[in-house]
Structure 1
Amino acid sequence: MKRSIFWLMAGAAGVVVANNYYNQPLLADFALAFHTSEGQAGTVSVAAQTGYALGLLLFVPLGDKLERRSMLRTLLCIASVALAAIALSPTLNWLVAASFLTGLVSVAPQLLTPFAAQLAGPQQRGQAVGIVMFGLLCGILVSRTISGSIAQHFGWRAVYWVAAAAMLVTAAVLSRMLPNAQPTYSGSYRRLMGSLWTLVREEPLIRQTSAIAALQFAAFSAFWATLAFHLRAMDPHYGSEVAGLFGLVGVVGASASTGAGKLIDTRNPRHVVLASGAIFVVAFAILAATGNTVAGLVAGVIVLDLGLQSGHVANMARNMSIKSDAMSRINTLYMTIRFAGGALGSSLGIWAWSVWQWPGVCAVGLGLGCVSVMIQLRPSMADAVQRE
């Protein structure tokens, strides 16, 4: 399979996943627009991630049962409508509900990842996953820059009108360019969903990778959900555009995904996961010590995104090696748990900010990072995945 198709998938994954993260540099703007507190505005970010986690659970398993191109087209068209609803929000409650719906249907990246792994085959699986994950994380990071810049000059509603149009363009491109993918599961939807529990029960590797990913993404989300508040509190009270520019800084760390993918194809991915946990701890130590300066935040963001992406790619490659006919369902379990962790991390970060400000956010990140390392080091878990 030509590498160009994986880069196309990477671009699409980035464009779609961005829907869930446009809000993060804009939370302070939402608070001002709707005359509410920072904590209440933060529920927009939590709603988007919660919706995404539920969408992963309900829709991504269907990637094993339905033709993927048609499914992607349908989800992207609904996402366009949901984004337009955000742009039209008259109240904060409307904005929260529309953000939840947007997250619910913006699950295309998690259909594209197992699709890429299936097309690549076992010899290039890590590299293919790494490419798609690079696009996905770039979408997460660059979305903040785009939304911050557009909001600064045209208002936050313009961000979502642009995003709604981008969904329609992406749907058209994928429908034309992706190859046909035959379903691998012929049972009912009820049996399909029931098989998720069987996979969790019988595959300890899924339980381990999902727990580590949830903890790491929770730490990552705690940082990003509060960065706009922290920058607004600093002198000279930076706005949404500066908060968004930190997304570009994170791309430096995101570039680790392609290198991690190549390394995983030749080395034990468990070692990459363990190293990623240690990197998380270092990142939050940097943020705690120097996060009251822009230079310190820049350094922390680079290290944080390096840890997130290398660990995520390694975990994905491990999961895709379990059962070739259940890739979408395995990805469902992993990503649902991961994004549930992200929603929890956003809530923890916003709570910590409201009580202890920046030191509280860093303490949350440090604690979550340390627990992720401890899980990877547990002998019982290591023994359970020896078959790798």
Structure 2
Amino acid sequence: MTLNSLKLSKSDVNAEKTAEAVTAPAPDGRTTARGLSRQQTFLFAITCAMAVANVYYAQPLLESMGASLSVSPDTIGVVVTATQAGYAAGLLFIVPLGDLLNRKRLILTQMLLSAVSLCAVGLAQSWGMLLGAMVLVGLMAVVVQVVVAYVATLASPEQRGEAIGTVTSGVVLGILLARFVSGAVADLAGWRGVYFVSAALMIGMALVLYRTLPTSTTPPAKDSYVQLLRSVFQLYLTERTLRVRGTFALLIFAAFSVLWTAMVLPLSAPPLSLSHTQTGLFGLAGVAGALAAARAGRLADQGLGNRTTGIALVLLTLSWLPTALVESSLLAMVVGVVLLDFAVQAVHVTNQSLIFAARPDAQSRLVGAYMCFYSVGSGIGAITATYTYAHFGWGAVCLLGAAFSGIALLYWLSLELTSRNCLTT
């Protein structure tokens, strides 16, 4: 499919004007945003859950992948890093297209190509082929961010935080349930079966979206693709909110990736020796993070985003204390997982609400620029976590995660002190 075939047709423009003038009611008569019913918001959330899960299926499967392809434990974490590298490339080169092209066609194209990439992972017979396929999986998984920007465009300003929070809840559930689903499917059909099943689900969801996806209420940008990409880099220079919130994203997702990448290693090793399914169950413990997401968005709408960030970063730093006790208490590990996921998603939703409010005219470019920080942080966390565990053990991994978390908290404190000093002078 060419770029020209993705551009808005005359009928699409007319449909967008209609959507802008009329708010679509939900079955109960309520709406979550202009032109976006609660039913549509729920569909967006499910789409994001399925798409983002593709990035995280590998984490409980690292040991099996390494054994299958004869890769050593201290380098198998590169699988996660390769996926994040593809994700970062997609954020820079694909997500901005949401401000230029028909978003419905862009989303559908990404989902179908994602299915192809997932099949390539399942068929991989060498280390190089696996890494290449995982890069493509990450590249196509950025459909999540196209959808998030889509929701931000459809939402009214006073409801944007809540709508983004609801969709982000779907993202969180996808991240957490991915580990459980991949573990359960792997126990039944092997790690390759996980990716074939996901490919089939992506094709099915694309068919649903083809029939139900609304069109954007915002006309496409008039810039060329090159100009659009250039403007993404300009946003880093001109938008302080993006730089500040992006720094938070890099640090919190580095901590997040440290936990979820390395956690499978002590859980699957003696004396615990848990199965894929049992390891994946820990993802369910983090569902509290999904529950926090929508609430954090509402707090940001009320002007309490900065306070929410500070409280969440304190919880994030403290979460590593019970997490360090995994070998002596699985219950303590559960507490640590709940605290970490709650904190990370609260900051993440707040970040997105604030950056979208800063530039309503550049939603796709903003989310692409912001999520690059996320991808870099996730990649750093993944590769450092597996190396640290292989050479120094689980205690060192927890110190690494606590270091990322503590730096984020110190950064927030420095911003608070600077802000207060400016107000008193």
Into which bin does the TM-score normalised by the smaller protein fall? over 0.9
**Secondary structure class of the residue paired with 1:354:** helix
- CA 1:291–1:382 in 2, change beyond 3 Å: closer, same or farther? farther
**Aligned position for 1:372:** 408
Q: Is the 2:75–2:387 contact (alpha carbons within 8 Å) kept by the matching residues of 1?
A: no
1:322 maps to which of 333, 358, 366? 358
Match of 2:283 among 247, 258, 274: 247
Q: Secondary structure at the match of 2:374?
A: helix
- 2:150 corresponds to 1:115: yes
Tell me which residue corresponds to 1:201: 237
Aligned residue for 2:281, secondary structure, equals helix
- Name the counterpart of 2:272: 236
Q: Distance in 2 between matches of 1:315 and 1:86?
A: 32
TM-score relative to the length of structure 1? 0.96
Gaps of 5+ in 1: none
Quote how far apart the aligned CAs of 1:214 are. 0.7
Give 1:58's aligned residue. Answer: 93
Query: Residue 257 of structure 1 contacts residue 313 of structure 1 at CA under 8 Å; is this kept in 2?
Result: yes
Partner of 1:335 in structure 2?
371
> Partner of 2:312 in structure 1?
276
Alignment-mate amino acid for residue 169 of structure 2: F
Structural mapping, 1:69-80, within 5 Å:
69-80=104-115
Match of 2:5 in 1: none
| Aligned-partner SS, 1:310 | helix
The match for 1:221 is 257
Maintained 8 Å contact 1:48/1:100: yes
The one of 47, 54, 58 aligned to 1:12: 47
2:157 paired with 1:95: no
- Contact kept? 1:228, 1:239, Cα under 8 Å: no
Residue by residue over 1:301-325, the C-alpha shift from the partner in whole angstroms, topping out at 9 and shown as x without a partner, is 1111000110100001001101111
Match of 2:161 in 1: 126
Contact 1:84 1:161 in 2 (8 A): yes
- CA drift of 1:162 comes to 0.6
In the alignment, residue 98 of structure 2 is paired with which amino acid? Answer: G
Give yes or no for contact 1:208–1:376 (8 Å, CA) kept in 2: no
Alignment partners' CA distance in 2, 1:64 and 1:229: 41
Local SS of the residue matching 1:267: coil
Give, as a single letter, the amino acid of the residue that structure 1 aligns with 2:349: V
- Give 2:180's match in structure 1, choosing from 129, 145, 148: 145
Supply the RMSD in Å over aligned alpha carbons. 1.7
User: CA shift at 1:239, angstroms?
Assistant: 2.3
Partner residue, 1:188: 224
Residue 260 of structure 1 deviates from its aligned partner by: 1.6
Q: Which residue identity lines up with residue 248 of structure 2 in the other structure? A: I
User: Does the residue aligned with 1:238 lie in a helix, a strand or coil?
Assistant: coil
1:129-167: per-residue Cα shift (whole Å, max 9, x none)?
100100001001101100000001111111111110111
1:344-367 Cα deviation digits (max 9, x unpaired)? 111111111112110111011100
Q: Displacement of 1:289 after TM fit?
A: 4.1
* TM-score, normalised relative to structure 2: 0.88
Name stretches of at least 5 consecutive residues in structure 2 with no aligned partner.
1-35
Q: Distance in 1 between matches of 2:122 and 2:292?
A: 34
User: Which SS does the other structure have where 1:110 is aligned?
Assistant: helix
User: Do the aligned residues in 1 keep the contact of 2:102 with 2:220 (CA within 8 Å)?
Assistant: no
For 1:165 and 1:377, locate their aligned partners in 2 and report how far apart those are by CA, in whole Å: 47
Question: For the residues of structure 1 that align with 2:349 and 2:168, how far apart are their CA atoms?
Answer: 7
| SS of corresponding position for 2:220 | coil
User: How many residues are matched?
Assistant: 386
- Conserved 8 A contact 2:185-2:193: yes
SS of aligned partner of 2:124: coil
Q: Whose Rg is larger?
A: 2
